[in-house]
DNA sequence: CTGGATCCCTCACGATACTG
DNA sequence: CAGTATCGTGAGGGATCCAG
């Protein structure tokens, strides 16, 4: 049995072989947001060795998840993007991220937030039921990171970058999770300085309902 | 940054830290089917070192995914079972397995099938739309492995073990995937000896519609 | 016999340096 | 910018050993 394989004829085992290697899931996460160059990926994945990134990209390309594309002149640079097969992971990864978010406490000092991770996090926590009848554009700012979410028709589109015409712009601190988990109310978040707003301040309550982190289920069996 | 962590405050990164280690996903897969003892897990995961199994179980227990339980007398043995949080992975893993199954070709000589992997595979490939109005019990035999699937009300329950009163019992060879992927018709499967039936032979066509592996999407962007 | 712990060896990962 | 080369370290593979 070759290393890194499981020797089982099983769809889940195959999926684990393709994406179970270190950094693999996070590479796909970042490519779900947008195609990227090698260096962009490196920047979004602090700590990844270049050799590992190169190896993963080759493996993912071999598995039909990622494809390498040379941009037309004058750029001639190389971008990595998901194939159709790779894009089918969006739903799975969004659900997986929603599950994992329940295990998030408050951020530790050494934990960072990246723009791409935050985009996927907002897609993960989005609740279509809570968004029914809501039509609004949010801008979210966390330090250097800026992203926008357009909610309409019970769907959401989340992208990196500012939204100049946002209905509500939220400048948030690291405690944003507590608001999304319902551990503090929008009013408390404002009072404690967890968020600072500009725009239609009433929309903060909608935001907290639409982008929601569930609690971990109670302990036993 | 500790080994095995990613240093990112992100639900998907946390999920990858919990389940991304080698064998982790397959341990949860087997526990989704039923609680198991250490040795049962070992048998269902050929090639796993006892040290790795013990380490993973401790980590999964620490993450609140698995719990260790001592059976009452007279057995007094120990079983590992999923917590409520762990059971929430069923939906994600089933979808992940459905995605990975598209990458399965025909089984290689060194690839085995286990009963638990087959149970999850049937849950993965189940199509509720195709099962509307169908009420039937299937028994599936692959060598030593026997499992049963009860289809009713657009839902399915798959378990290990025989179904004596099955409407259709299918004894299948390693080519079963070709039937489920629509690469051969039920008629061809019968003629080529891919399956042998007992019971209501007409139900084989239903089986092939209800438990279905999609093709990989076409190559480019 | 189950439920592990301990050993050694290998290989993949992490860090850094370097090249087309 | 887009990687390859090198090297030390730690986790996994495999076998063995031990406690209840």
Same domain, B47 and B133: no
Q: Is residue A28 part of a domain?
A: yes
Average pLDDT, chain B: 95
A19 and A68 belong to one structural domain: yes
Q: How many domains does chain B have?
A: 2
Average pLDDT over residues A47-53: 95
Structural contact between residues B195 and B141, judged by C-beta atoms closer than 8 angstroms = no
SS3 A153: coil
A132 CB-to-strand D distance under 7 Å: no
- Do residues A51 and A129 both lie within one domain? no
Instruction: Find the nucleotide nearest B55 (Cα to C1′).
Output: C4
B1 pLDDT higher than 70? no
Q: How far is CA A56 from the centre of its chain?
A: 19
B175 torsion bin: left (phi>0), alpha (psi -120 to 50), beta (else): alpha
Determine the Cα–Cα distance for residues A210 and A38; give it in Å rounded to an integer: 34
Dump pLDDT digits (tens) for A99-139: 999 999 999 888 999 999 999 999 999 999 999 999 999 99
Say whether pLDDT at A1 is over 70. no
Task: Write the pLDDT tens digit of every residue in B9-21.
Answer: 999 999 999 999 9
Does residue A134 sit in the same domain as residue A181? yes
Give the confidence band of B69 by pLDDT, cuts at 50, 70, 90: very high
Interacting residues of A12 by C-beta distance below 8 A, sequence separation 6+: B25, B26, B29, B93, B96, B97, B100, B117, B120, B121, B124
Provide the residue range defining the domain that includes A42.
11-87
Q: Do A216 and B92 touch (CB under 8 A)?
A: no
N-to-C CA span, chain B: 36
Residues A132 and A196 grouped into a single domain: yes
Mean pLDDT value of segment A5-10 = 95
What residues pair up with A29 in beta bridges, in sequence order?
none
Task: Give the phi and the psi of residue A96 in degrees, each rounded to 5.
Answer: -65, -40
Q: Answer yes or no: is B76 within a domain.
A: yes
Nucleotide nearest residue B41, measured CA to C1': C3
Higher pLDDT, A19 or A1: A19
Candidates B26, B91, B221; nearest CB to A95: B91
Q: Identify the sign of the CA torsion A176, A180, A182, A186.
A: positive
pLDDT value at residue A221: 53
Same domain assignment for residues A53 and A121: no
For residue A102, the chain B residues in CB contact (below 8 A) are 11, 85
pLDDT at A50: 96
What integer is the mean pLDDT of A145-165?
98
Q: Give me the half-sphere count of Cα atoms (radius 13 Å) on the Cβ side of residue B26.
A: 31
A26/B13 touch (CB, cutoff 8 Å), yes or no: yes
pLDDT at B220 over 70: no
The answer to whether position B21 is within a domain reads yes
Say whether B96 and A100 touch across the interface (CB within 8 A): no
Q: What is the mean pLDDT of residues A138-162?
A: 98
pLDDT of residue B76: 79
pLDDT at B75 over 90: no
Mean pLDDT of B30-44: 96
Distance CA A179, CA B100 (A): 36
What percent of chain A stands above pLDDT 90? 92
Rounded distance between C-alpha atoms, residue B28 and residue B30, angstroms: 5
Q: Is the pLDDT of residue A2 over 80?
A: no
Judge if A81 and A121 occupy the same domain. no
Look at residue A196 in the predicted model and tell me its pLDDT. 98
Report if residue A23 sits inside a domain: yes
> Are A142 and A200 found together in one domain?
yes
Q: Does the pLDDT value for residue B2 go beyond 70?
A: no
Nearest nucleotide (CA of A22 to C1')? C13
Q: Which of B114, B32, B100 has the alpha carbon at shortest distance from B65?
A: B32
Task: Give per-residue pLDDT as tens, B94-114.
Answer: 999 999 999 999 998 889 999
Min Cα separation B94/chain A (Å): 8
Segment B39-65, tens digit of pLDDT = 999 999 999 999 999 999 999 999 999
CATH number at residue A153: 3.30.1050.10
Task: In whole angstroms, give the CA distance from residue B103 to residue B88.
Answer: 25
Looking at A72-76, A131-135, B205-209, which range is the least confident one?
A: A72-76
Q: Are B168 and B200 in contact (CB under 8 A)?
A: yes
**CATH label of the domain that carries residue B44:** 1.10.10.10
């Amino acid at each position: 049995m070759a290393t890194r394989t499981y020797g089982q004829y099983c769809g889940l085992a195959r999926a684990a072989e393709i994406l179970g290697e270190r950094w693999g899931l996070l590479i796909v996460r970042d490519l779900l947001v947008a195609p990227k160059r090698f260096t962009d990926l490196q920047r979004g994945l602090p700590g990844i060795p270049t050799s590992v990134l190169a190896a993963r990209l080759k493996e993912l390309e071999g598995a039909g998840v990622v494809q390498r594309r040379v941009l037309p002149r004058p750029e001639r640079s190389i971008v990595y993007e998901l194939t159709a097969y790779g894009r089918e992971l969006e739903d799975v990864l969004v659900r997986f991220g929603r599950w994992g978010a329940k295990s998030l406490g408050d951020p530790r000092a050494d934990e960072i937030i990246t723009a791409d991770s935050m985009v996927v996090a907002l897609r993960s926590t989005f609740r279509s039921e809570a968004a029914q009848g809501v039509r609004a554009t949010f801008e979210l700012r966390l330090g250097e990171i800026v992203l926008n979410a357009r909610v309409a028709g019970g769907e959401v589109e989340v992208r990196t970058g500012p939204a100049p015409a946002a209905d509500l712009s939220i400048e948030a601190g690291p405690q944003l999770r507590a608001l999304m988990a319902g551990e503090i109310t929008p009013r408390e978040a404002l009072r404690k300085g967890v968020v600072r707003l500009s725009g239609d301040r009433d929309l903060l309550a909608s935001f907290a309902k639409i982008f929601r982190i569930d609690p971990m289920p109670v302990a036993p069996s």
